[in-house]
A and B are shown apart, each in its own frame.
Chain A
């Protein structure tokens, strides 16, 4: 019955959209909803298809999610993810404990000021003498900390800690998984880095206000939002790009404002600013990267001249003064306040949230970028026009959709799929949702070549493990320590390219060993702040043997995967009656004393426990027997070493590194 209904509704949907489409042939193609996914043609069952969707569009499947998805319908599940408006109440409760993550950039400046700002204030307030600054002394640091407390300021590390905590919690627990996956994807595409001090404090707001709300919208909106964000303006230096010698001439009308210049501090600032600006000029960094990395791609058909000219179009784009601590920001605010917003707008300035377009710094010459002429008179608007042009360029359609395909299909997606996605991008005006629908509706998404072809990044591995084990996280930051150790220091990738999205980048010897060790540490509950109940995952059925544990938990953690090889490889060892003897031999000890009848394949059995206990009581077997005892003792139900070892091996296994 259900299937009939679904079929009917799909036919209806296709019919209706067909009618609508025909009347829109001249304009952009009408947005379409996901139709039936073509997984059956690829030979996948609905369960396998569901598992594949979870692997691609979530941070890993939670136990029972495949069943949920199937009862809802795969297409409906995907549409719900595209809508991304699940209220996420339980996540919100978790996040409510993090008081710093909702601060505006200005509030961050006030509460979590940069170390340099604190120092300046402390010197000004006479707390620290200019001549006694000793950055490497504890007493001095304590003095500064105490000063910060009296001023209601906190160290920046706390801001970043909370920021990383929220990312981990969202990834692990948000019901809007696709939105969160795309937040990671687009953040990485428009990468900014905590390693650069100037932009670091603005990164939490960048992810929250610039990236996350736009990840399923139109590409041009996302591009424009990043271009105007303090994080990007500072990261790629566009904030300091100005027409050469902007300090000369009429743009220092400020100096003629008698009220302002009566304030000696302000007068000094204006002089300093004039001096500083003399040396300034065009900075091409953003203009180059916006073409090379954000839109056209390195082979997108632009020249060095296009870069230079685009940089001129984007001059004057900067940050509204955010700092209220008596530094330049305070004076900047006063100066802007003295003009008044209306006067600024009349003069061509644009103040939009944290963004400020400064007409005085704008290069008003006529320039040509990629064949388009910008006459310089339009000020802010010509920068917007430039970004619109880049967002709609055919090279951009190709470059962006390929990046999406690499993220969601495989490291080497087939050309036929890339063509469809680029066409979809262009026809739907860069609508990211529509590109995703085109991708999932293509047979190439479901081919055997694409299944488990992606390597999990360290973050993805960590989060998928937490989700797979239904774990609760009370201290996300400790999970982050492992993510760092496995090679992904969150928000620290220095280059504007973002982390390379390919298996070779993540998999090297050191990183791989850390992945294995992560599995073992997590499964044995040795990562503080992460709790789970292995027995509950299997409805409190205790596996009868290590082999049974392997089969059961393999299916729980990696549903719909072919684990025959994994099981075949592990079983002989788990069943080897001489396992402990071999360990002893390898340790160079004569193990003749080891009881041959010990049920080594199942150290958690009563027999093993009894033997081990006897060995201890009788003092037999010396050191090795003692070690075996401890090993077996930990196998007691509830603190099940063999089970946690099996799960640890599964998480560290090659199969689990793939998605």
Chain B
């Protein structure tokens, strides 16, 4: 059995300890990049979550286009499934639901049954506050604000294995740790993989020396926490150093949009391909709070879904042979009003929809339950009713993909049933 330490030593770059990071000369990086798999870990199943902050209008992303009530409630927002002048029509998925035309990148994945959609998903707590709803969704306890941990952190705890041995088991590509990751299990927020080095601008040798010094110092400290985390940090740097993070070339002709969420997904793809022990990844996407001029086939919402779907599809293409290991899931705190408001937008509502992508997904189906949008069927007379508890879907994806089976821990207050978004 090769120890992880041994593996790293054998990497050939350990000549001067950590000396090659920081202002690492590019010729070294290029030489090092030839080795693809740099991590010493066995391949793992990976769950990637994207939180769409601001509450995505699920009825515009995936429209029940045969619903006459919806057409009436949204005179300028509704997009028909048939071509209407210069406007692009919806993409008819199943005769009842249509995908927004700017999400055409998703269509092939839906047809190939790798992409599934849950409609009418939301929280049992009917708060329409972004803050509260996000807080509840991320803690996974919709009626308890004081829950210290986030559901993804608890998922990491249930995974158990290798805990504490890889610095990259749970990674959030955000500037601060998201609520979903709060908790006792190791998780890390990284806004940019390139920052993962000892840096002294304009003084690479100084950085090299400092790095060597730090590694020695953390190796000798009497604090176990600092010692073990220090070792992890330097191991992590060495792993990342073996690929050219900065000049990463996506595989299989994948083209990432130039956006924040695309950039995060690209870095998650890099981590996945490095086999550094990643199991839970998180990132977020913004701009969904469309109270004003939401647009229809073009406009703000169209640009948002265009970016999101193209980013996800680029990520998926880039993964190539790693697709079997990865399931990706989107989430948003609530949906938006059925009726459009006076400023060409929609206000805070209840249920929305989400997307799940993976080779173990029960794909090509719009799951869930969306009744005709007559006023009497709406929650509080105005909103798409929540018919699927988000915990039913989150738990199923986590259980089936990550092989964790303790919903009591994952969602302590939840007692519902899963709905079959994953293949058995």
With A198-B129, A510-B189, A512-B233 given, is the CB distance from A653 to B16 under 8 Å? no
Which of B103-111, B155-163, B223-231, B266-274 lies at the interface?
B223-231
Query: In the complex, which residue of chain A has the Cβ closest to the Cβ of B208?
Result: A583
Q: Which residues from 164 to 199 on chain B have a C-beta closer than 8 Å to any C-beta of chain A?
A: 167, 175-177, 179, 182, 184, 186-191, 195-199
> Do A631 and B217 touch (CB < 8 A)?
no
* CB-defined contacts of B221 to chain A, threshold 8 Å: 565, 654-655
CA distance A497 to B144 in the complex (A): 12
- Residue B369 at the A interface, CB < 8 A? no
- Residue B218 at the A interface, CB < 8 A? yes
- Residue A279 at the B interface, CB < 8 A? yes
> Do B179 and A508 touch (CB < 8 A)?
no
Which of B19-27, B256-264, B328-336 lies at the interface?
B19-27
Would you give the 0/1 interface string for A176-215, flagging 1 where the beta carbon is closer than 8 Å to chain B?
Answer: 0000000000000000000111100000000000000000
Tell me how many residues of A have a C-beta within 8 Å of chain B: 75
8 Å CB contact of A131 from B129, B135, B219, B343 = B343
- Residue B370 at the A interface, CB < 8 A? no
**Interface range on chain B: under 10, 10 to 19, 20 to 34, or 35 or more?**
35 or more
* Main secondary structure on A side of the interface with B: helix
Please give the distance in Å from A477's CB to the nearest CB on chain B: 15
With A495-B182, A496-B146 given, is the CB distance from A583 to B198 under 8 Å? no
Query: In the complex, which residue of chain B has the Cβ closest to the Cβ of A513?
Result: B233
> Do B144 and A507 touch (CB < 8 A)?
no
8 Å CB contact of B210 from A582, A649, A658 = A649
- Residue A60 at the B interface, CB < 8 A? no
Query: In the complex, which residue of chain B has the Cβ closest to the Cβ of A507?
Result: B229
- Residue B35 at the A interface, CB < 8 A? no
> Do A133 and B144 touch (CB < 8 A)?
no
> Do B167 and A508 touch (CB < 8 A)?
yes
- Residue B325 at the A interface, CB < 8 A? no
- Residue B399 at the A interface, CB < 8 A? no
With A509-B232, A657-B226 given, is the CB distance from A484 to B175 under 8 Å? yes
> Do A133 and B293 touch (CB < 8 A)?
yes
CA distance A627 to B198 in the complex (A): 18
> Do B144 and A288 touch (CB < 8 A)?
yes
- Residue A381 at the B interface, CB < 8 A? no
* CB-defined contacts of B287 to chain A, threshold 8 Å: 136
- Residue A648 at the B interface, CB < 8 A? yes
Q: Which residues from 606 to 659 on chain A have a C-beta closer than 8 Å to any C-beta of chain B?
A: 627-628, 630-631, 634, 641, 645, 648-649, 652-655, 657-658
Please give the distance in Å from B95's CB to the nearest CB on chain A: 34
Would you give the 0/1 interface string for A498-526, flagging 1 where the beta carbon is closer than 8 Å to chain B?
Answer: 00100110011111111011001100101
> Do A654 and B203 touch (CB < 8 A)?
no
- Residue A135 at the B interface, CB < 8 A? yes
CA distance A197 to B190 in the complex (A): 25
Which of A80-88, A105-113, A222-230, A584-592 lies at the interface?
A584-592
Please give the distance in Å from A648's CB to the nearest CB on chain B: 6
- Residue B207 at the A interface, CB < 8 A? yes
A-B contact count (CB 8 A): 199
Please give the distance in Å from A120's CB to the nearest CB on chain B: 11
> Do A520 and B198 touch (CB < 8 A)?
yes
- Residue A489 at the B interface, CB < 8 A? yes
> Do B210 and A645 touch (CB < 8 A)?
yes
Please give the distance in Å from B191's CB to the nearest CB on chain A: 8
Most buried by B among A526, A569, A631: A569
Query: In the complex, which residue of chain B has the Cβ closest to the Cβ of A197?
Result: B131
8 Å CB contact of A573 from B15, B213, B342 = B213
Please give the distance in Å from A567's CB to the nearest CB on chain B: 10
Query: In the complex, which residue of chain B has the Cβ closest to the Cβ of A411?
Result: B225
CA distance A641 to B230 in the complex (A): 25
> Do A573 and B217 touch (CB < 8 A)?
no
Please give the distance in Å from A637's CB to the nearest CB on chain B: 17
Please give the distance in Å from A435's CB to the nearest CB on chain B: 24
> Do B129 and A495 touch (CB < 8 A)?
no
8 Å CB contact of B206 from A285, A455, A586, A645 = A645
- Residue B365 at the A interface, CB < 8 A? no
8 Å CB contact of A455 from B135, B188, B205, B225 = B225
CA distance A360 to B223 in the complex (A): 57
- Residue A566 at the B interface, CB < 8 A? yes
> Do A631 and B213 touch (CB < 8 A)?
no
CA distance A135 to B220 in the complex (A): 53
With A289-B146, A526-B201, A634-B203 given, is the CB distance from A509 to B167 under 8 Å? yes
Chosen A-B contacts, 8 in total, with CB atoms closer than 8 Å, are A135-B300, A455-B226, A494-B135, A508-B186, A508-B188, A510-B233, A631-B205, A649-B217
Known: A586-B19, A645-B206. 18 other contacts (CB 8 A): A133-B343, A196-B129, A197-B131, A487-B176, A487-B177, A509-B229, A510-B189, A510-B196, A512-B229, A512-B233, A513-B237, A520-B207, A565-B222, A569-B213, A569-B216, A570-B216, A654-B230, A655-B221
Pairs A-B, 6 closest by C-beta atoms: A133-B292, A586-B16, A654-B221, A509-B167, A654-B226, A196-B131
Binding site for A on B (CB under 8 A): 15-16, 19-20, 25, 27-28, 31, 129-132, 135, 139, 144-148, 167, 175-177, 179, 182, 184, 186-191, 195-201, 203-210, 212-214, 216-223, 225-227, 229-230, 232-233, 236-237, 287, 291-293, 300, 342-345, 380
